[in-house]
Structure 1
Amino acid sequence: MSSIKDVASLAGVAVGTVSRVINNIGSVKPHTRDKVLAAIEQLNYVPNEVARNFKMQKSKMVALLLPSIWHPFFSELAYYIEDELDRYGFKLMLCNSGGKPEKELYYLDMLLQNKVAGVVGITYNHIENNVSADIPIVSIDRHFAKAITCVTSDNFDGGRIAFRELLKAGAKKPAFLGSRPEVYSETLRRKEGFLHEAVLHRIEPIVYEGPDPCLDDEGFYRTFLERFPEADGLFAITDMAAAKYIETAKSFGKRVPADVKVIGYDGIQDHPYFHPVLSTIRQPVEEMARTAVTLLLKKIEGEAVEQETYRIPVRFRPGETT
């Protein structure tokens, strides 16, 4: 991690000048200030004073970064995070990033300026250089190269359960329908668990993936149905993907569950897409949300947390699609 001396050296100024810029005290020429700020940005420098002051944090606002608030899983997560924060006298500031990294970076900058006490976030963007383990951040599903605490469901076990349930329902040619984000996410373990269980059963499953975890492209599902008409069991990476598959499959004359058994992942049963009621791997959304807040509040108080990744068990919730 860069030091204040590194910033001073890069900017060609004295350490005291850097300190005056950081603390916004004393007189510094505009040109010199610009050089110092440019050096801070280039080195991704986080002043030690900021890290030390988090213990004395006076802000009672926590930022929640979400890719899309319209998605039922994210909405449910936000509800329980806000409820848990309220119990401890904190308020929620919602950032519906729409997948835009510049919006996420804006809220991270607010954290560095002590305008919010901490951040809980889901991001699929490359913002590694702007995230530090020294400040109060808890990630949902996403792993960073640095030691950022991550709260997630047991995606690997969820994939294993889904495979077993498809076989139990009578599927002979099970398939995984998913998406691959640009950055590593715990959600990828859903496929890993599915394939692990397939090996144990000595079955070669179908695997079909798209590039974007938030993409809802009808052409993607049509292509799958055209290429793999033999698939009689489907595990979709999310409930929304499962629902869209079912909707598209109808136009191909496929009946669910008579012709193909379908299992999703999330457990967002209240969404109007779900007719029939979807069989799914239910994420413990409330427990994930409250755990994330508990860990974040510990970080805000300067306390250590016991581990880097918290994986919470999932369960199969049968519906009408298997």
Structure 2
Amino acid sequence: MASIKDVANLAGVAVGTVSRVINNAGAVKPATRDKVKAAIEQLNYVPDEVARNFKMQKSKMVALMLPSIWNPFFSELAYYIEDELDRSGFKLMLCNSGGKPEKELYYFDMLKQNKVAGIVGITYNDIESSVSAGIPMISIDRHFSKQITCVTSDNFEGGRIALRKLVQAGSKKPAFLGNVPSMYSETLRRKDGFVHEAQALGIPYAVYEEPDAIKNEDEYYSNFLRRHPDIDGVFAITDMTAARYIETAKEAGIRVPEDVKVIGYDGIQDHPYFHPVLSTIRQPVEEMARTAVKLLLGKVEGEALEQEVFCIPVTYRAGETT
């Protein structure tokens, strides 16, 4: 990566001159300014001053990176993040990546060059090397090796609660229905909690997973029904997964909840997909969003965070599927 000294050498000027051009401060001859700008462009140099500006909080803009704005959980999260930012005098820049790593990389590169105050990010892709430690950032559900604080719900406890509720509803052989992201995420702990509780109670169980993203959803759900015909309870990794399973099960003549009890995870029952109303593990979306913003703005002010992970309790919301 090019340094300010590299720019100065290429332009044939002093480092201080490059700094004055970048900050638009002090007198610099037009011809010299043009040489410096050309060197910056040729070397694709991202000024260190950008990181300094973050710390000085010159910007009132915070970026939110989401895999998909269409997902009701992400939409609700964005609503509360924007509201909390607005209360604090900040504005939101929405970056909808569609879950594509190349688009996420593009956004991170853009954000490095634009003076946003910080980033709240949700990503399940391998983009570790592009996450700049110089930009204040809070992650939702994802751990990075750098010092980036993660805000998440208590996924492990959510899995445990789901297993117990299925058993209480009469399930004798429940299954976990999920997918595996390319990078480790706190969402994987939903399965861990489910399996832990099943083993602790001595309940037979099944786990069905495919790599994320699922290439063929129809095949994914039909394979599950074919491989596990004796399942009488399902804990799905998300509410959307649960809703799609219920739809497929109905087409196969399986009744919910008479034949199979179903519990999702997120708590977005207001979405029209949910008929019948889904029993679910409700994430504290508003608290997660507001906590993420408060932590980020603290980082922008230079505060050191004592915890690497902020884990917020979940609740069970009974519906018509158990």
Q: Are positions 1:133 and 2:119 aligned together? A: no
Q: In structure 2, do the counterparts of structure 1 residues 23 and 137 end up closer, same or farther at CA, with 3 Å as the change threshold?
A: farther
Q: Distance in 2 between matches of 1:220 and 1:167?
A: 25
Q: Distance in 2 between matches of 1:318 and 1:159?
A: 15
Q: How does 1:33-72 map to 2 (within 5 A)?
A: 33=40, 36-37=43-44, 48-72=48-72
Q: What TM-score results when the alignment is normalised by the length of structure 1? A: 0.88
**Which residue of the other structure, out of 17, 20, 33, is the alignment partner of 2:18?**
20
Aligned to 1:113: 113
Q: Distance in 2 between matches of 1:224 and 1:276?
A: 21
Aligned to 1:93: 93
Task: Tell me if the contact between 2:54 and 2:116 (Cα under 8 Å) persists in the aligned partners.
Answer: no
Task: Tell me if the contact between 1:18 and 1:36 (Cα under 8 Å) persists in the aligned partners.
Answer: no
Q: How does 1:171-186 map to 2 (within 5 A)?
A: 171-186=171-186
Aligned to 2:196: 196
Q: Distance in 1 between matches of 2:130 and 2:20?
A: 17
SS at match of 1:209: strand
Deviation larger for 149-158 or 14-23: 14-23
Q: Distance in 2 between matches of 1:179 and 1:216?
A: 13
Cα offset for 1:181?
A: 0.6
Q: Distance in 2 between matches of 1:83 and 1:31?
A: 41
Aligned to 1:153: 153
Q: Distance in 2 between matches of 1:131 and 1:15?
A: 31
Cα offset for 1:23?
A: 5.8
Letter in 1 for 2:237: I
Aligned to 2:289: 289
Letter in 1 for 2:247: E
Aligned to 2:27: none
Aligned to 1:253: 253
Cα offset for 1:57?
A: 2.5
Deviation larger for 126-135 or 150-159: 126-135
Cα offset for 1:111?
A: 3.1
Q: Distance in 2 between matches of 1:84 and 1:317?
A: 25
SS at match of 1:126: coil
Q: Distance in 2 between matches of 1:114 and 1:52?
A: 12
SS at match of 2:170: coil
Q: Distance in 2 between matches of 1:228 and 1:22?
A: 67
Cα offset for 1:144?
A: 1.1
Q: Distance in 2 between matches of 1:305 and 1:29?
A: 38
Cα offset for 1:64?
A: 0.8
Aligned to 1:43: none
Cα offset for 1:110?
A: 3.6
Deviation larger for 78-87 or 95-104: 95-104
Letter in 1 for 2:250: K
SS at match of 2:247: helix
Q: Distance in 1 between matches of 2:17 and 2:282?
A: 50
Letter in 2 for 1:49: E
Letter in 1 for 2:280: T
Task: Tell me if the contact between 1:142 and 1:184 (Cα under 8 Å) persists in the aligned partners.
Answer: yes
Letter in 2 for 1:245: Y
Aligned to 1:314: 314
Task: Tell me if the contact between 1:111 and 1:117 (Cα under 8 Å) persists in the aligned partners.
Answer: no
Q: Distance in 1 between matches of 2:36 and 2:60?
A: 34
Q: Distance in 2 between matches of 1:318 and 1:17?
A: 64
Cα offset for 1:204?
A: 3.3
SS at match of 1:175: strand
SS at match of 1:219: helix
Letter in 2 for 1:243: A
Q: How many residues align?
A: 312
Alpha-carbon RMSD: 2.7
Q: Distance in 2 between matches of 1:18 and 1:234?
A: 64
Q: In structure 2, do the counterparts of structure 1 residues 179 and 18 end up closer, same or farther at CA, with 3 Å as the change threshold?
A: farther
Q: Distance in 2 between matches of 1:236 and 1:250?
A: 16
Q: In structure 2, do the counterparts of structure 1 residues 33 and 112 end up closer, same or farther at CA, with 3 Å as the change threshold?
A: closer
Letter in 1 for 2:313: P
Cα offset for 1:96?
A: 1.2
Aligned to 2:266: 266
Q: Are positions 1:80 and 2:80 aligned together? A: yes
Q: In structure 2, do the counterparts of structure 1 residues 21 and 105 end up closer, same or farther at CA, with 3 Å as the change threshold?
A: farther
Q: Distance in 1 between matches of 2:40 and 2:153?
A: 45
Deviation larger for 205-214 or 176-185: 205-214
Percent identity for Structure 1 against Structure 2: 68
Cα offset for 1:89?
A: 1.0
SS at match of 1:190: helix
Q: In structure 2, do the counterparts of structure 1 residues 30 and 86 end up closer, same or farther at CA, with 3 Å as the change threshold?
A: closer
Task: Tell me if the contact between 2:214 and 2:220 (Cα under 8 Å) persists in the aligned partners.
Answer: no
Cα offset for 1:48?
A: 4.6
